[in-house]
Structure 1
Amino acid sequence: MDMDVMDGVLPQPGAHGWDEEDRQRHEMKGPFHLPPGPDAFSFVLYQSTGVCLDEGHKVELLENGTVFERMLEDIRQAQESIHILVYIWRPCELSDRFVEALQERVSAGVHCRVLVDPVGSEEVSGDHDFDQKIERKLVECGVEVHYYRPLAGKVLGRLLGRNHQKLIIVDGRIGYTGGFGIWKVWEGDGRAEENWRDTHVRVEGPAVCRMQLTFSRSWQESGGSLLHPRDLPGPCHVGPVRGAFVDSMGKLGMTDAERMVRIVIAAARKRLWIANAYFTPPNAIMEQLVHKAHEGVDVRVLGPGPVHDVPLVRASQRSTYEQLLRAGVRIWEYQPSMMHAKTVLVDDWLTVVGSTNLDALSLNKLSEGSMVLADPELASKLERCWHRDFEYSKEITLDAGGRTNPWRRLARRATQLMGQDR
């Protein structure tokens, strides 16, 4: 990173592309610009979220069900600890494979800790709850299991303040994040209605320490004991990729999730491609997207189509189309199955993969986490994923599904209310 960035002093106007208007803004009000390049982006990310783009990562992009074979391979080779934090873990054959792998590692002396969100892992389709079918097996073999914010009393704030992160950390050195849950819908190739389309990353490098700390904070809140020093090894530099793990907790004011999203959008100069499962962003982000399109940036949105697990959110998503289309944004809806990915591709060097949805709930109330990665090779791989998805998607126009209506406007009001401070 440039020394005049690292010394903690904001560059003077014109030195790196900053202008007086940008310097006068606070709390990221309205559209704004960043100086070009990873160094300036890292500086803004650091002063806004507390993390910067560290060097030393090795990253694998994993689509759909391919992530599970890789996870289970790493779990079976664990020597010290396995930490799993998921929003959804439900009974199925895939769950049985994870339980079996954890049982084997516990017998080998590996410390295994599992943290689930009781809202995401509730009873569904006649299956028994997590605690009846899965927790019992894990606890009996020595896995420590806790629930994030149990629903006793079901207070509204407790119902909204959930942990939506998806993290698996092995030996404090290998981390996974993305859109996955441990359930049957994440198996397959995302081309059939019962198999969701999703994207994940496997990471080695300094950002895994941040993932482990994120797990630790939620683990302690849920009644888990402090981790041992061996569970938190120092940063290990193993590859050439620069990256950061940005975690976020719901709070009053702007969360780190929203800061991260707005900074990533601001970084776009040529291309801004967003794939998101619950695309109904707050008005400030909508304004940013429109502004980028007006500047000539190639802005594209890929969202779920007719297969959607929350019809209200799909209607809210479609309420954004008319404004975006009139600004020049291109929009596609994925047709074969639920499109559950949460990715962003900026220009030819910046990518985001994680759990963060572009809706008011994720950006304001939920615990979320995403990897932000500066790597042209990874950006190229994600672009190829996009082009494959286009083949299975329908482009939306003003005359073909893009105009709003009263139902869509009402749905958007409802979804935006979920993110308001209470």
Structure 2
Amino acid sequence: MADPLDEVVPQPGAHGWSPEEGRRHEMKGPFHLPKGPDGFSFVLFQSTGVSLQPGHRVDLIENGAVFERMLEDIRKAQQSIHILVYIWRPCDVSDRFVEALRERVSAGVKCRVVVDPVGSEEVRGDKDFDQKVEQRLTECGVEVHYYRPLAGKVLGRLLGRTHQKLVIVDGHIGYTGGFGIWKVWEGDGLEPEQWRDTHIRVEGPSVCQMQLAFSRAWQESGGSLLHPEDLPGPREPGSVRAGFIASAGKLGMTDAERMVRIVIGTARKRLWIANAYFTPPNAIMEQLIHKAHEGVDVRILGPGPVHDVPIIRASQRATYAELLRAGARIWEYQCSMMHAKTLLVDDWLSVVGSTNFDALSLNKLGEGSMVVADEAFAQKLEQGWHRDFEHSREITLATGGTTNPWRRLARRMTQLVGQDR
């Protein structure tokens, strides 16, 4: 019987790729990975230190429904509530979280919040979170810290943010995805001011890894060490295999990029990518093109006319021509800002989290993604894709898939943040 790891080899000469070009990248490619969850788990572990552990229960949650589920869990908390978010701004959703946390503090639950100031206030030049949210939280006993305040710092500090989205209850229930605590994440993603997004609720061993990701951000933000009761032993409420990949920006290849490249390499039949900021680095573009040439069903779903960062949309569109010529298919979501960050591979592997397909997310930001090996979960994610197709426009070379000087310039500019390694 052949060793499955014999398949983990580069493919020199395939579709323009050469050994000389491959040596420029720390993880050479294109490449194939072993079939199935066991082989994938082993490769993921040797690259990121995280393997797929059994014992999970996972729930896919779309759009604003995530808030009601979170608040339901928060109101039942007995020990601790930990929240780490990039965006928290004053709104009705914020008010509901403040009230739920106030009630739990009064019941003796430790409530800790870390907010990134870039997403929440400082770059926008106002103090809405400070004056309208933080003050209310601290007055009722919630401990609040900012992650890497910007005062007096250089550009590297501006880029080195945490983009993670984590809500962890009692060390046993965890949430991640694309959410922020702000009004645009309410609703069903079918109106311009209601963003389309995908999230995951997790119970099981990986919640400990989510808690550790929060703890690292908490310590760096001035918080004290957590107590042993904040890191309880794992429960195993289900049978799903999953792992949480936390990533931090650094010189060299991050765990976020390692995870993305391994997941892409695993695809044999299907590789569907929904991403809010789809402008992948060249090494990942090479992988996607190679997969499409191999006959893998490569599909990209990105934002359409409703986009919060126009230069990213232009950069996204600069990738279309190469991908379409290779055989990939591309859709743009029409109703609102498509903010999800998900991958669907074959019929068993899914990724849901905060990780974008751009150089900033893959090289500079703190990110987190849940990797799930489960056919039932993959089917639910696929169902969401088909609903999104109904509200999306397919792009072809004849209908907007070509590039132009502005798009090429935008792509060069968005790649610059990843060129320090």
Q: TM-score, normalised by structure 2?
A: 0.95
For 1:314-363, what per-residue CA distance to the aligned partner results, in whole angstroms no more than 9, with x for missing partners? Answer: 00000000000000000000000000000000000000000000000000
Assess, with a 3 A threshold, how the Cα gap between structure 1 residues 21 and 177 changes in structure 2: closer, same or farther: closer
Letter in 2 for 1:342: K
Q: Residue in 1 aligned with 2:245?
A: 246
Answering whether residue 9 of structure 2 is matched by residue 16 of structure 1, we say no
Tell me how far 1:419 sits from its aligned partner.
Answer: 1.8
Answering whether residue 51 of structure 2 is matched by residue 52 of structure 1, we say yes
Q: Residue in 2 aligned with 1:403?
A: 402
Q: Secondary structure at the match of 2:118?
A: coil
Answering whether residue 287 of structure 2 is matched by residue 288 of structure 1, we say yes
Q: Residue in 2 aligned with 1:360?
A: 359
Assess, with a 3 A threshold, how the Cα gap between structure 1 residues 391 and 124 changes in structure 2: closer, same or farther: farther
RMSD over aligned CA atoms reads 1.6
Tell me how far 1:30 sits from its aligned partner.
Answer: 2.1
Q: Residue in 1 aligned with 2:216?
A: 217
* Cα contact 1:74–1:170 (8 A) shared by 2: yes
For 1:254-301, what per-residue CA distance to the aligned partner results, in whole angstroms no more than 9, with x for missing partners? Answer: 000000000000000000000000000000000000000011000000
Tell me how far 1:129 sits from its aligned partner.
Answer: 2.0
Aligned equivalents of 2:123 and 2:148: distance in 1? 20
* Cα contact 1:175–1:204 (8 A) shared by 2: yes
* Cα contact 2:298–2:328 (8 A) shared by 1: yes
Tell me how far 1:421 sits from its aligned partner.
Answer: 1.6
Tell me how far 1:43 sits from its aligned partner.
Answer: 0.2
Aligned equivalents of 1:22 and 1:318: distance in 2? 28
Letter in 2 for 1:273: W
1:160-199 aligned at under 5 Å gives the runs 160-199=159-198
Assess, with a 3 A threshold, how the Cα gap between structure 1 residues 407 and 202 changes in structure 2: closer, same or farther: same
Aligned equivalents of 1:21 and 1:273: distance in 2? 23
1:86-235 aligned at under 5 Å gives the runs 86-122=85-121, 128-235=127-234
* Cα contact 1:123–1:130 (8 A) shared by 2: no
Answering whether residue 266 of structure 2 is matched by residue 267 of structure 1, we say yes
Aligned residue-pair number: 410
Assess, with a 3 A threshold, how the Cα gap between structure 1 residues 20 and 347 changes in structure 2: closer, same or farther: closer
For 1:204-233, what per-residue CA distance to the aligned partner results, in whole angstroms no more than 9, with x for missing partners? Answer: 000000000000011001100000100001
* Cα contact 1:246–1:260 (8 A) shared by 2: yes
* Cα contact 2:89–2:129 (8 A) shared by 1: yes
Q: Secondary structure at the match of 2:250?
A: coil
Q: Residue in 2 aligned with 1:7?
A: none
1:23-42 aligned at under 5 Å gives the runs 27-42=26-41
Aligned equivalents of 1:278 and 1:358: distance in 2? 6
Tell me how far 1:22 sits from its aligned partner.
Answer: 4.3
Aligned equivalents of 2:95 and 2:225: distance in 1? 28
Letter in 1 for 2:57: K
Tell me how far 1:128 sits from its aligned partner.
Answer: 4.5
Answering whether residue 225 of structure 2 is matched by residue 237 of structure 1, we say no
Tell me how far 1:19 sits from its aligned partner.
Answer: 4.1
* Cα contact 1:276–1:302 (8 A) shared by 2: yes
Aligned equivalents of 1:419 and 1:130: distance in 2? 30
Q: Residue in 2 aligned with 1:320?
A: 319
Tell me how far 1:21 sits from its aligned partner.
Answer: 3.7
Aligned equivalents of 1:373 and 1:20: distance in 2? 21
* Cα contact 1:17–1:36 (8 A) shared by 2: no
Letter in 2 for 1:15: D
Aligned equivalents of 2:369 and 2:8: distance in 1? 31
Aligned equivalents of 1:72 and 1:288: distance in 2? 40
Aligned equivalents of 1:374 and 1:93: distance in 2? 36
For 1:122-147, what per-residue CA distance to the aligned partner results, in whole angstroms no more than 9, with x for missing partners? Answer: 16989742111100000011100000
Aligned equivalents of 2:120 and 2:274: distance in 1? 25
Q: Which runs of 5+ in 2 are unaligned?
A: 12-18
Q: Residue in 1 aligned with 2:80?
A: 81
Letter in 1 for 2:133: I
Q: Secondary structure at the match of 1:30?
A: coil
* Cα contact 2:33–2:39 (8 A) shared by 1: yes
Letter in 2 for 1:264: V
For 1:96-137, what per-residue CA distance to the aligned partner results, in whole angstroms no more than 9, with x for missing partners? Answer: 000000000000000000000000001698974211110000
For 1:15-34, what per-residue CA distance to the aligned partner results, in whole angstroms no more than 9, with x for missing partners? Answer: 22624844998832121110
Q: Which runs of 5+ in 1 are unaligned?
A: 1-11
Q: Secondary structure at the match of 1:70?
A: helix
* Cα contact 2:196–2:340 (8 A) shared by 1: yes
Letter in 1 for 2:231: L
Tell me how far 1:152 sits from its aligned partner.
Answer: 1.1
Q: TM-score, normalised by structure 1?
A: 0.95
Tell me how far 1:95 sits from its aligned partner.
Answer: 0.2
Identity score, percent: 79
Aligned equivalents of 1:180 and 1:400: distance in 2? 32
* Cα contact 2:10–2:30 (8 A) shared by 1: no
Q: Secondary structure at the match of 2:120?
A: coil
Q: Residue in 1 aligned with 2:68?
A: 69
Q: Residue in 1 aligned with 2:392?
A: 393
Q: Secondary structure at the match of 1:94?
A: helix
Aligned equivalents of 1:90 and 1:124: distance in 2? 13
Tell me how far 1:154 sits from its aligned partner.
Answer: 3.5
For 1:360-409, what per-residue CA distance to the aligned partner results, in whole angstroms no more than 9, with x for missing partners? Answer: 00000000000000000000000000000000000000010100000000
